[in-house]
């Protein structure tokens, strides 16, 4: 019995060493298996929580619910009309593009996904998990957006799920430009509060989204819209990213530091769109050169 | 057989709960360390083999659910489990007070250890010291809250399945 115990301990020791030294070729499938295994339950739990959230919101306020229902009916009708008009405009657009002889790049289809979990298991990265993966045609490094603006990019894609590294993560870098002035910059995440709050931790207040090293002479104002520039080859150009909330000089006073409030509400993500992979080289070849604003 | 099934079920449940718990935004995005709480339960209530099995699998779960390199959490959970078992019966007993204390210390120490491992592997850009301290405190705080509940649930399940007598534990949490 004692020998058996030692044998089990020895086997566990070997397993321990194997786990710690797992090569990437083995670790990735293992990670994928665990994610795939838990993804349906995470999706189920996320839906259950959403339902519970809705029930709690609606209980005790039936009048508001009825008014809301009537308003939604009207809005639904209005949206249906707009969709019909939109389809008509799309057809016209295609016809005009053909007439102009422009070779239109096949844009592919954006994939709608549901957010099944927020943040990674340890809270080290700002991320969200989606219910789409390789089986839905997703890959690493695709832009993820909501109707309001850019959310982040995909990474760690497995068969039926993938993670999104949010804009607010400290490791996130996005090439952006100011719409009004055309000034370019690199946007970095602050790490903790994705809602645009200035204080992200009790002991370490950090801004959520920052453009460091903005030209000190550039014409920048608060509430300026910032969009993706398309440089870097990950994000297509002109996706709304955020609005300028504060501009200040850096410690050296050689550059300015710009804080942004994200356009998309990163704290309440439920459904997102994953854009097809952006081919910067092809897009640049297909489009006429953009006229940059005068500095 | 039933013991393994119960252990697997608890691990799955803990992994799912940990992924669903929202992080504490104001305390460094700290998340409730449910898997760590389960590992401490097996360290305090069962033998070394069961504890190491849970530590290895819980570590794999935790690393798979996040973007941590494989093995980081396994190392931390195994070290924590071995440390608890070495002092079991002297400092640590299967009581609520111990659960709160181990939950706090385990959550905070694991956060710091994983941060150091991340820095040593150059997988992570150095974060402000205040943020790391807040995160460690947050993980400890959540650990102190969640660990007694996890211990209670696990002990209740094992009692219902009549596993406590067959397992290596010497004391009963929450009364016999």
Residues A250 and A112 occupy one common structural domain: yes
pLDDT 10s digit of each residue in chain A, 295 long? 567 777 777 877 777 777 777 777 878 888 888 878 888 888 888 888 878 877 777 676 777 778 888 888 888 888 887 887 777 677 666 655 644 543 343 345 778 888 888 777 677 888 888 888 888 888 888 999 888 888 999 988 888 888 899 888 888 889 999 988 888 889 988 765 444 444 444 444 455 788 888 887 888 888 889 999 888 778 888 888 999 988 888 777 788 889 888 888 887 787 888 888 877 555 555 555 554 444 4
| Collapsed DSSP state (helix, strand, coil) of residue B126 | coil
Band (pLDDT 50/70/90 cuts) for residue B169 is very low
For the segment B71-91, the average pLDDT, to the nearest whole number, is: 86
Contact (CB<8Å) A127/B18: no
Going by C-alpha positions, the residue among A274, A279, A280, A277 that lies closest to residue A110 is A274
Give every CB contact of residue A151 below 8 A, 6+ residues apart in sequence.
Answer: A128, A144, A145, A164, A166, A167, A264, A266, A269, A272
* Same-domain status, A123 and A200: yes
Q: How far apart are CA B131 and CA A205, in angstroms?
A: 8
Contact call for residues A133 and A161 (beta carbons, < 8 A): yes
* Chain B residues closer than 8 Å to A201 by CB: 26-28, 128, 130-131, 134-135
From A278's Cα to the closest Cα of chain B, the distance in A is: 24
Is B86 part of any domain? yes
Same domain, A115 and A257: yes
Give dist(CA B10, CA B163) in Å, integer: 14
Nearest-Cα distance to chain A for B32, in Å, is: 8
- Could you tell me if A18 and A131 lie in one domain? no
pLDDT digits (tens, 9 = 90+) for B110-164: 999 999 888 887 667 777 788 888 889 999 999 999 999 999 999 888 888 877 6
Residues of B with CB below 8 A from A8's CB?
49
- Best CA proximity match to A224, nearest among A240, A209, A244: A244
Is A215 found in the same domain as A120?
Answer: yes
Strands A225-228 and A173-178: antiparallel
In a domain, A72, yes or no: no
In a domain, A292, yes or no: no
- Cα A284 to chain centroid, rounded: 23
Do residues A34 and B59 lie in contact, with contact meaning Cβ atoms separated by under 8 Å? Answer: no
Pairing of strands A162-166, A143-145: unpaired
Alpha carbon distance B163, A290 (integer Å)? 71
Considering the domain architecture, whether residues A114 and A234 belong to the same structural domain is answered as yes
Is B170 within the bounds of a domain? no
Domain carrying residue A12 = 2-58
State the alpha helices, DSSP H only, in chain B. Answer: 2-20, 34-45, 48-65, 72-86, 96-120, 129-160
Q: Give the distance from residue B96's alpha carbon to the nearest chain A alpha carbon, in angstroms.
A: 25
Range of the domain at B138: 2-160
Look at chain B and report how many structural domains it folds into: 1
Report yes or no on A110 lying in a domain.
Answer: yes
The count of structural domains within chain A is 2
């Amino acid at each position: 019995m004692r020998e058996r115990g030692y044998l089990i301990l020895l086997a566990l020791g070997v397993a321990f060493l194997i786990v710690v030294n797992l090569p990437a070729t083995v670790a990735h499938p293992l990670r994928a298996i665990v994610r795939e295994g838990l993804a349906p339950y995470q999706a189920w739990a996320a839906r259950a929580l959403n339902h519970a959230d809705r029930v709690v919101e609606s209980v005790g306020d039936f009048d508001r619910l009825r008014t809301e229902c009537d308003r939604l009916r009207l809005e639904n009708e209005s949206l249906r009309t707009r969709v019909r008009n939109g389809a008509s405009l799309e057809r016209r657009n295609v016809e005009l593009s053909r007439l102009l002889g422009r070779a239109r790049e096949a844009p592919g289809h954006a994939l709608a996904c549901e957010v099944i979990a927020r943040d990674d298991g340890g809270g080290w990265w700002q991320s969200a998990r989606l219910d789409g993966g390789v089986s839905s045609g997703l890959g690493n490094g695709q832009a993820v957006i909501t109707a309001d603006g850019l959310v982040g990019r995909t990474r760690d894609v497995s068969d039926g799920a993938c993670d999104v590294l949010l804009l607010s993560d400290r490791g996130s870098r996005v090439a952006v430009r100011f719409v009004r002035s055309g000034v370019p910059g690199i946007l970095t995440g602050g790490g903790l509060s994705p809602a645009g709050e200035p204080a992200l931790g009790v002991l370490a207040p950090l801004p959520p989204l920052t453009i460091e090293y903005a030209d000190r002479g550039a014409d920048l104002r608060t509430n300026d819209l910032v969009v993706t520039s398309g440089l870097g080859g990950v994000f297509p150009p002109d996706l709304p990213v955020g609005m300028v909330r504060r501009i200040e000089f850096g410690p050296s006073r050689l550059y300015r530091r710009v804080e942004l409030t994200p356009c998309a509400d990163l704290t309440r993500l439920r459904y997102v769109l994953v854009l097809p992979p952006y081919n910067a080289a092809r897009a640049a070849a297909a489009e006429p050169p953009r006229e940059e604003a005068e500095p | 057989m039933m013991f393994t099934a119960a252990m697997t079920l608890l691990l799955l449940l803990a992994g799912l709960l940990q992924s669903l718990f929202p992080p504490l935004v104001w305390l460094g995005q700290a998340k409730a360390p449910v898997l760590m709480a389960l590992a401490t339960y097996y360290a305090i209530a069962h033998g070394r083999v069961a504890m190491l099995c849970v530590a290895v699998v819980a570590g794999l779960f935790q690393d798979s659910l996040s973007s941590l390199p494989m093995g980081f959490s396994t190392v931390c959970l195994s070290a924590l489990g071995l440390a608890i078992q070495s002092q079991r019966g002297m400092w640590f007993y299967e009581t609520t007070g111990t659960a709160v204390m181990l939950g706090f210390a385990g959550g905070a120490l694991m956060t710091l250890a994983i941060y150091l491992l991340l820095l040593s592997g150059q997988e992570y850009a150095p974060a402000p010291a205040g943020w790391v301290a807040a995160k460690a405190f947050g993980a400890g705080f959540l650990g102190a809250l969640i660990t007694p509940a996890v211990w209670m649930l696990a002990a209740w399940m094992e009692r219902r399945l009549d596993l406590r007598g067959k397992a290596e534990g010497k004391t009963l949490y929450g009364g016999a």
